[in-house]
Structure 1
Amino acid sequence: MKIVVAADSFKGSLTSAELADAVETGVRAVYPQSEVIKVPVADGGEGTVQALVDGTGGLYRTVNVRDPLGKTITALYGITGDGKTAVLEMASASGLPLLTADERNPMKTSTYGTGELIKDALEKGCREFLIGIGGSATNDCGMGMMEALGMKFLDSSGKELSGCGENLIRTESIDDSGLIPGLKEADFLIACDVDNPLFGQNGAAHVYSRQKGADEQMVLELDKGLVHFNEVVKEKYGFPMNELSGAGAAGGLGGGFAAFLGGRLKPGIDIILTMTDLSSKMDGADFVITGEGRIDFQSVMGKTPTGVSRLAAEKKIPVIAIAGAVADNAGIVHEHGINALFSIMNHPITLDEAMEPEKARFFVEKNIEEIFRLIKTCENKFS
């Protein structure tokens, strides 16, 4: 029997690779001679770096960068096993969790640290980039990132501006003569799972900036800044960011990547499944095991389980999904190629207890074992 395991992490508990190991243990308790193919995956958000680095035998880099408010922190990114592709999560340098609630202020925060990660990867020879842009603390349209990469943003008097939300409205011209070497040869693929426009009622400021610390006046000022900045960029590069679906992601960073670096925005799960070559690894499989920490109605919106099940359905391979929690509305995933869905929880338990890695691993192993005992029973009865 051939089993392919392609599950997202149980965040805060088990990594994608650890979860796959636990599934393998459960399968082999029933089918000891089975072939188990383990493919760490993620959907472009938290866990993407680890999934791709572990899945390709790559390496990790730690770099001292500026956090959203300019304090020095240590951030991590990965380089795939072939040494060509840098895998970054912008949140590791410019993410909301890096700030306390009192520190959040999208007028002041910057993506400068994300630019520093890109710069380090360029210096290490990477020319291909996969960057997840979820979880940002910023609304600077990539100004800070590009500042770190050598671009200058100037006001009406020619004074250089720092990259942050409040300076969007003050920017009148852009000087890109100092961009660092190698940047023009780099290719940027951006994992982006939202389609918000750059500005307006559904744009970056109105939809996301409040959770980043903006009050109502800031929301209006940031939105006006994005409108103005878009015109400056359009005049310089002929690129209307406001016409790009997803430009409003990460406080306009999606639009900034496209305008300044030629970045291509795609759903994260589609990128990951292509990079891991999951489709070919499914060939000849009897079952595919997928899952994530919680499965609910949102799991059909570009998340790992239904991304995996879509590939499996093309090959007519049954898909079993597991999760720490299964919501009442999770049944919708059955309409998206998941044949059976199970919670790993065996008895009432607190969330903290459930997320203990040893306990979670035990629950996964035992429940997978029971699932495959049922499969074997049916196999014997109907063979």
Structure 2
Amino acid sequence: MKVMIAPDSFKGSLSANQVGEAIKRGILKGMRNAHIEIIPMADGGEGTVDVLLQQHHEAESHRITVHNPIMSPIEATYITFTASDEQVAWIECAESSGLTLINEHERNPMNTNTYGLGEQIKAAIERGIPHIMVSLGGSATNDGGLGMLQALGWQLFDIDGKLLPPTGNPLLKVENICDQYVPASVKNTRFTVVCDVQNPFYGPNGAAYIFARQKGAKDDQIAILDQGLHRLCEIFLHQYGINVQKVDGSGAAGGLGGALLAALDGTIVSGIDTIIQLNKVEEKVKQADLIITGEGSIDHQTLMGKVPFGIAKLAKKYDKPVVGLGGRVDMNLESLNDYFDGIFSIQTECLPIEEAIQPTIASTQLEVTAEQIFRLFNRLI
């Protein structure tokens, strides 16, 4: 039996590759003659760079100095690799603009910006990379991508026509933008925006009202940020003829999706679909007899573009049986059963979550669960 293991990481516990190796050990205990291939997966968020580095052996990692969300210098990484005979740079916005880069008392989207992301992009462009893929998620910012644009050469002006400096959140004061001095190399670069949220730019379901609170904003600040995004939407519409409010995902990462879409002519795509394509997973699914996937929690959010859902959809496309393993599994499986042939929790005993997520325990539980499943498979075939 040819078994393909294509899991996401179990966040806070095991990497996708560690999950795959634990499942493999269990399978071989239950079915010694199984032929197994591990394909670590990600959905464009945390852990995606590691997955791409594993699957693209020629990929290079580049470390540069940029500014974090409060404009302190930090080290950030981006990677380059070849896809479809084209050089590509993959940049995670969380590497430069992430919430984890600043202390809790510093978290306030009224004061943070995405300037560092612009510096990452600029470094890749200066290396001559023609196609830049920016994955969104985990940001500490709600600046509509204006800090990023400043780093790439855009000029921002306030209501009095004064040039705004690259400090704080420029969204609060911007009234006009100018791209006259943006280098041609920036304008000639192709941008792909990788995200899995569908939120609009502003409004009740927009970047500020849905995400700013978890970044440290208070209720009155959220309203101000939302007004700023509404104003910026009008600026983008006037400048570039694109109404970002009408594009799903424009509100991702505090409005970064909208800025990449309008000012940089980017295209927004699904994270899991992109990783499936880049890692040529579809061809491997065709060759497999059984597919195993999983993530830390399999629940209603799994259907919102998470790794197990993407893998299960692909398996069903080719009528392949697919099994999901999770540290936690939602009891309401009705919607998930349309895509999975079986979903199993790995919890072999009742443990507090702090104990259950310990790497050695999670790894053992994955191994035990996989062994039991394949002991049954071995009996049936």
Tell me which interval the TM-score lies in, with the shorter structure as reference length: over 0.9
Residue 332 of structure 2 is aligned to residue 329 of structure 1: yes
SS of equivalent residue, structure 1 residue 160: coil
Residue 134 of structure 2 is aligned to residue 134 of structure 1: no
Q: Are the counterparts in 2 of residues 165 and 222 from structure 1 also a CA contact under 8 Å?
A: no
Question: What is the CA deviation profile of residues 65-96 of structure 1, one whole-angstrom value per residue up to 9, with x for unaligned ones?
Answer: 21111111222322236682222221121122
1:2 CA drift (Å): 0.8
1:196 CA drift (Å): 1.9
Q: In the aligned structure 2, how far is the partner of 1:127 from the partner of 1:53?
A: 19
Structure 1 vs Structure 2: percent identity of aligned residues? 39
Question: What is the 5 A alignment of 1:91-106?
Answer: 91-106=94-109
Q: In the aligned structure 2, how far is the partner of 1:134 from the partner of 1:152?
A: 25
1:371 CA drift (Å): 1.1
1:364 CA drift (Å): 1.9
Alignment-derived partner of residue 70 in structure 1 = 71
Question: What is the 5 A alignment of 1:170-249?
Answer: 170-180=173-183, 182-249=185-252
Question: What is the 5 A alignment of 1:264-303?
Answer: 264-303=267-306
Larger deviation, residues 354-363 vs 366-375 = 354-363
Larger deviation, residues 122-131 vs 222-231 = 122-131
1:314 CA drift (Å): 0.9
Q: Are the counterparts in 1 of residues 71 and 167 from structure 2 also a CA contact under 8 Å?
A: no
Q: Are the counterparts in 1 of residues 147 and 170 from structure 2 also a CA contact under 8 Å?
A: no
Question: What is the 5 A alignment of 1:7-26?
Answer: 7-26=7-26
1:307 CA drift (Å): 0.9
Q: In the aligned structure 2, how far is the partner of 1:60 from the partner of 1:331?
A: 42
The partner residue of 1:150 within 142, 149, 153 is: 153
Q: In the aligned structure 2, how far is the partner of 1:273 from the partner of 1:239?
A: 29
AA matched with 1:201: P
1:311 CA drift (Å): 0.4
SS of equivalent residue, structure 1 residue 29: helix
CA 352–60 in structure 1, closer or farther in 2 if over 3 Å, else same: farther
CA 165–232 in structure 1, closer or farther in 2 if over 3 Å, else same: farther
CA 113–189 in structure 1, closer or farther in 2 if over 3 Å, else same: same
Residue 159 of structure 2 is aligned to residue 159 of structure 1: no
SS of equivalent residue, structure 2 residue 286: coil
CA 250–302 in structure 1, closer or farther in 2 if over 3 Å, else same: same
SS of equivalent residue, structure 2 residue 90: strand
AA matched with 2:5: V
Structure 2 length as normaliser, TM-score? 0.92
Q: In the aligned structure 2, how far is the partner of 1:329 from the partner of 1:246?
A: 27
Alignment-derived partner of residue 367 in structure 1 = 369
AA matched with 1:110: N
1:166 CA drift (Å): 4.7
The partner residue of 2:355 within 353, 356, 359 is: 353
AA matched with 1:34: A
Q: In the aligned structure 1, how far is the partner of 2:14 from the partner of 2:213?
A: 31
Q: Are the counterparts in 1 of residues 312 and 322 from structure 2 also a CA contact under 8 Å?
A: yes
CA 317–114 in structure 1, closer or farther in 2 if over 3 Å, else same: same
Structure 1 length as normaliser, TM-score? 0.92
Larger deviation, residues 314-323 vs 208-217 = 208-217
Moved over 6 A (4+): none
Q: Are the counterparts in 2 of residues 111 and 140 from structure 1 also a CA contact under 8 Å?
A: yes
Q: In the aligned structure 2, how far is the partner of 1:29 from the partner of 1:302?
A: 32
Question: What is the CA deviation profile of residues 223-277 of structure 1, one whole-angstrom value per residue up to 9, with x for unaligned ones?
Answer: 2212222222222222222222222221111100101111111221121112112
Larger deviation, residues 298-307 vs 220-229 = 220-229
CA 304–108 in structure 1, closer or farther in 2 if over 3 Å, else same: same
1:157 CA drift (Å): 4.0
Q: In the aligned structure 1, how far is the partner of 2:246 from the partner of 2:60?
A: 37
Residue 117 of structure 2 is aligned to residue 114 of structure 1: yes
Q: In the aligned structure 2, how far is the partner of 1:158 from the partner of 1:263?
A: 28
